[in-house]
A and B are shown apart, each in its own frame.
Chain A
Amino acid sequence: MIDREILLEKMKTSPYKPMRGKIIETRMLTDKEKFFRIELEGKINLHHEPGQFVMVSIFGFTEAPISVCSSPTDKGYFDLTVRNVGIFTDKLHKLGKGDVVGIRGPFGKGFPIDNMFGYDILIVAGGLGIVPLRSLIRYIMYNKNDFGHVQIIIGCKTPQELLFKEETTEWMKRSEIKMNCTVDRADPDWRGNVGLITTLIPGVDINPARTYAVVVGPPIMYRFVIVELLKKNIPDHQIIVSLERRMRCGLGKCGHCQVEGVYVCQSGPVFDYSQLKNFKGECHESRTF
């Protein structure tokens, strides 16, 4: 129990009230995903960790949890990338430069950056997984000398679905980073790999004890990728994942994001595999098959 005076003070302000976030730039990345650059009132920084999320409000359409895809080293604004999949995201897609949304957060636990200092990094991004990982990748790029060898593997269904094309092309050119892209189904212009993302993992050259693998993608991908990473002898606690769950509050109360006893919005969304494997059956990402 906290001090009563502090409690009374906390009772005066509502954590449900969003801040004002002005959209200062938008761009369609594909025909389904839209990029938003958002500036908070007074250009204050969001002060997030890579991997954290915000609750985005559109009055009349409630809220949704959205991953931040810019790095905390990008100052004065932050970025979101949103796929149009429902009523809320459809409304969000209709908003443009100058429009205002509500922002609460950042919430949850991000990638364990400090623990990752000095380690080699293997990033595995499937589909929309690149969105939260862009935050981490940009952070690592900015502080490259804190980290060892960096490898990035990106996978998506078709070349058209590849996000942040300009940036990924730029990352490809950088000598200190090794990048690999794969698509499930290629088109005539595609010059990268074809096949599931798991096919690229056996070939990566890593020193498992010195490597953090950060994996973000759909639940089905985790199941297969984690198995491949374990085959490479990466220790459980150095396999980092981010879980997607339904969330209505971000405060560890509403219950939607709960996986067994854990509220993903507060204890996650980032977990390591040593935590994941202790779930008994409600964590699809770690379900053995």
Chain B
Amino acid sequence: MKYAVIKKEDLNIWLEYLKKKARLYAPKQKENQFIFRPVKDVNEITLKYIPTILPPKKYYYPQKEKLFRFKVKPFKTSKAIKAFEEYILFAVHTCDIAGIQCMDVVFRDSPEDPNYLNRKEKMTIIGIECLEYCDKYANCTSMGNHVPRGGYDLMMIDLGEKFILHINSERGEKLIHGLAYIKEADEKDMFNLERVREAKKKIFKEEFTGPLTKVYEAFDRHFTSAVWQDVGRRCVACSNCTNVCPTCYCFDVIDEMKLSLNQGMRYRIWNSCQMDDFAKVAGGEDFRKGRDGRQRHRYYRKFKYSVDKYNRYFCTGCGRCTRTCMAEISLIETVNSLLAEEGESR
């Protein structure tokens, strides 16, 4: 069985079932925005949502991750996390799944990161395919992430009265196995899936004015472009953009002591290349001074460096950085400005 179907009226029954299987995280409305939360009541889950404030990154790469416990005297270290728990990420957009794939590449790269890998090992991803744009900020089509490209266990696609489920792993198969209300998809369902995908092609259009290869070339050529000065002038270095990015993973390390001052815990916490002391060394030299250089660095980590190193664009097209930016710096505009410069210089 590769495709299955579930009627919408049976969805909550399935969710109750999933909730019993493992800790379930799903999107939920919070005022006029959306967030991923542990599911208490399945009725609170919303399937029609624009990208959540934070990507599900917070579950597999927590803001504050325990690294190890320590004792000062006598010098001793011990495990901070005894066991990692099984969890299901429910209704994840394809852009955020692309983000998880990027993080996989980084943390599997030698030297491997056991904290991330252990959390990833316990993760089940049930995705949901977007059939229309979330808002004007997304650039998922240019990044090729508006359609599923693997990286999930199950993918749900809305076919009107029911969801069709693409089964992409054994793990996914197990979550629907033996349930009377989930049936194998028939020819009509497959035809409907085709139709939905065709309709999608009319809605999703490339947001950048050129293909990704051209974007890469533009980044390669325009390191000293005035575009960066302009972005830098507007940036307020608040680091919102890196916090909400599904592929930003820079961190700092902190120690927290117990009141005894002899025992404590070492953590890693999210950090941002947009902060002014990020690249400053003890002697006072700052190797990335200026908001223009720091913003440029963020962009290059998405469109250039990661391509050179991993052959992968680290922008997923979710649009969060633009949506959250207080200075209204738009990723689509920035990239298109670079492309325009590339056009002029040719």
B279 touches A246 (CB 8 A): yes
Contact stretch, chosen from A60-68, A110-118, A153-161: A60-68
B251 — nearest CB in chain A belongs to which residue?
Answer: A254
Bound Cα distance A256, B254 (Å) = 14
Q: How far, in Å, is B258 (CB) from chain A's closest CB?
A: 10
A244 touches B281 (CB 8 A): yes
B266 touches A10 (CB 8 A): no
A244 — nearest CB in chain B belongs to which residue?
Answer: B281
Bound Cα distance A17, B67 (Å) = 8
Given A60-B72, A60-B261, the answer on whether A14 and B115 have CB atoms closer than 8 Å is yes
Set of chain A residues within 8 Å of B67, measured between Cβ atoms: 14, 16-17
Contact stretch, chosen from B177-185, B197-205, B304-312: B304-312
Set of chain A residues within 8 Å of B305, measured between Cβ atoms: 258, 260-261
Interface of A, secondary structure class, is loop
Check: B36 CB closer than 8 A to any chain A CB.
no
A253 touches B107 (CB 8 A): yes
Check: B297 CB closer than 8 A to any chain A CB.
yes
Number of A-B residue pairs with CB-CB distance less than 8 Å in the complex they form: 136
Bound Cα distance A284, B283 (Å) = 14
B255 touches A218 (CB 8 A): no
Check: B226 CB closer than 8 A to any chain A CB.
no
Check: B285 CB closer than 8 A to any chain A CB.
yes
B250 touches A256 (CB 8 A): yes
Bound Cα distance A85, B77 (Å) = 27
Bound Cα distance A223, B107 (Å) = 35
A282 touches B249 (CB 8 A): no
Interface residues of A in 165-203 (CB under 8 A from B): none
In-complex Cβ contact of B253 among A218, A248, A252 (8 A): A248
Q: How far, in Å, is B307 (CB) from chain A's closest CB?
A: 9
Set of chain B residues within 8 Å of A13, measured between Cβ atoms: 114
Interface of B, secondary structure class, is mixed
Check: A259 CB closer than 8 A to any chain B CB.
yes
In-complex Cβ contact of A7 among B72, B74, B108 (8 A): B108
Given A14-B115, A254-B250, the answer on whether A61 and B255 have CB atoms closer than 8 Å is yes
A11 touches B118 (CB 8 A): yes
Set of chain A residues within 8 Å of B282, measured between Cβ atoms: 64, 83, 85-86, 89
A59 touches B271 (CB 8 A): no
B68 touches A16 (CB 8 A): yes
Set of chain A residues within 8 Å of B285, measured between Cβ atoms: 218-219, 244, 284
Bound Cα distance A13, B108 (Å) = 14
Bound Cα distance A256, B115 (Å) = 19
Bound Cα distance A142, B32 (Å) = 70
Which A residues have a C-beta under 8 Å from some C-beta of B? 1-2, 7, 10-18, 20, 59-64, 83, 85-86, 89, 100, 102, 218-219, 244-246, 248-249, 251-261, 280-282, 284
Which B residues have a C-beta under 8 Å from some C-beta of A? 67-68, 70-72, 74-75, 77, 79, 106-115, 117-118, 121, 223-224, 249-255, 257, 261, 264, 266, 268, 271, 273, 278-283, 285, 287-288, 293, 297, 300, 304-305, 308-309
Nearest first, the 7 A-B pairs at minimum CB distance are A255-B250, A261-B305, A100-B75, A280-B223, A16-B67, A85-B282, A59-B70
